[in-house]
């Protein structure tokens, strides 16, 4: 079964161990983790990198190249994407 990781920025005080959940779907597992900081986002991405097909980051990470920072921290070996907000 394929697995995908989604990391969202929960802000200060977010405990990445307590904000984990897995949605078991017919074709894949969706792992969702909230983090309090960029450093924790990198830690969580590294923790799951070899277990998932790709890592998706919430819109917070599309700002100022933060998604690229996570991808670089993983050595460019894993698929990392980021949600981008658009305004009509």
CATH number of the domain encompassing residue 8: 3.40.50.300
87 falls within a domain? no
28 falls within a domain? yes
Taking the CA atoms of the chain, what radius of gyration do you get in angstroms?
13
Give the model confidence (pLDDT) of 57-79 as tens digits.
998 887 777 888 999 999 988 89
Counting Cα atoms < 13 Å in the Cβ hemisphere of 46 gives: 12
Q: Structure pTM?
A: 0.90
Structural domain count, the chain: 1
Give the model confidence (pLDDT) of 8-20 as tens digits.
999 999 999 999 9
Whole-number pLDDT of residue 12:
93
30 falls within a domain? yes
Structure-token match 């597992």, residue found: 29
Question: Residue 54: which domain range?
Answer: 2-82
């Amino acid at each position: 079964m394929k697995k995908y990781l989604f990391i969202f920025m929960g802000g200060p005080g977010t405990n990445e161990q307590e904000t984990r959940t897995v949605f078991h779907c017919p074709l894949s597992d969706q792992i969702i983790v909230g983090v309090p900081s960029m450093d924790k986002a990198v830690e969580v991405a590294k923790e799951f990198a070899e277990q998932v097909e790709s890592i998706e980051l919430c819109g917070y990470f599309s700002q100022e190249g933060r998604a690229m920072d996570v991808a670089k921290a993983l050595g460019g070996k894993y698929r990392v994407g980021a949600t981008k907000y658009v305004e009509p």
